[in-house]
Amino acid sequence: MAEISALQVMALRKKTGAGIVDCKKALAESDGDETRAVEYLRVKGLATADKKSGRCADEGLIHTYVHAGGKLGVMLELRCETDFVARTDDFKALAKDLCMQVAAMAPLAVDADCFPPEALEAERRVYAEQAAESGKPPQVVEKMVEGKIQKYLKENALLNQTFVKNQPEEKDRTVQDYIKQHVAKLGENIQVARFVRFQLGEES
């Protein structure tokens, strides 16, 4: 097993926000490989966050973000369990990052469950007509349509989107993953309640 130095532990702690003991264990389990150690902590963090997802989140804040010389703005309600966490710098930074995500990627809903069934059905009909033109068997067409629906949800549901500030080693991290990392770090359930995105000249 590789020897783990204090510098490695502190570097991993700075990158992930995890505790010293957890960072040391992650590096030990990963033979000193920082990338694998980050993955180890993400898995652990996500598992911890999932246990908190059912708890009541009725505190939080409403964060606003204005970009592009006042021509693009976002307002987002982010909830947590206590006013104490809502006032922390980490929680405020998360709210800002989520507003920037909405500004950059223009999601249509918080998550896949928020899409009206009729809107998804309309998308499904369009994809089905496009896929049918390929002349492939019905079962293949069905798989093609389902694949396009999943891609549509990933691109247009905030929590399903790839997080815009990912580093190369985090290229597959979603917005939901990023929130869960904060759940693990702050110890409370965190939820995006709603958001609205304004762009000058757009119809409401």
**CATH 3.30.479.20 is right for the domain spanning 59-111+157-199:** yes
CA 74 to chain centre: 17
Query: What pLDDT score does 46 carry?
Result: 47
pLDDT band at 100 (very low <50, low <70, confident <90, very high): very high
State the span(s) of the chain assigned CATH 1.10.8.10.
6-52
Query: Topology of domain 6-52, per CATH?
Result: Helicase, Ruva Protein; domain 3 (1.10.8)
- The mean-pLDDT minimum among 46-55, 104-113, 133-142, 169-178 falls in 46-55
pTM of the model: 0.69
CATH code reported for the domain at 116-155: 1.10.286.20
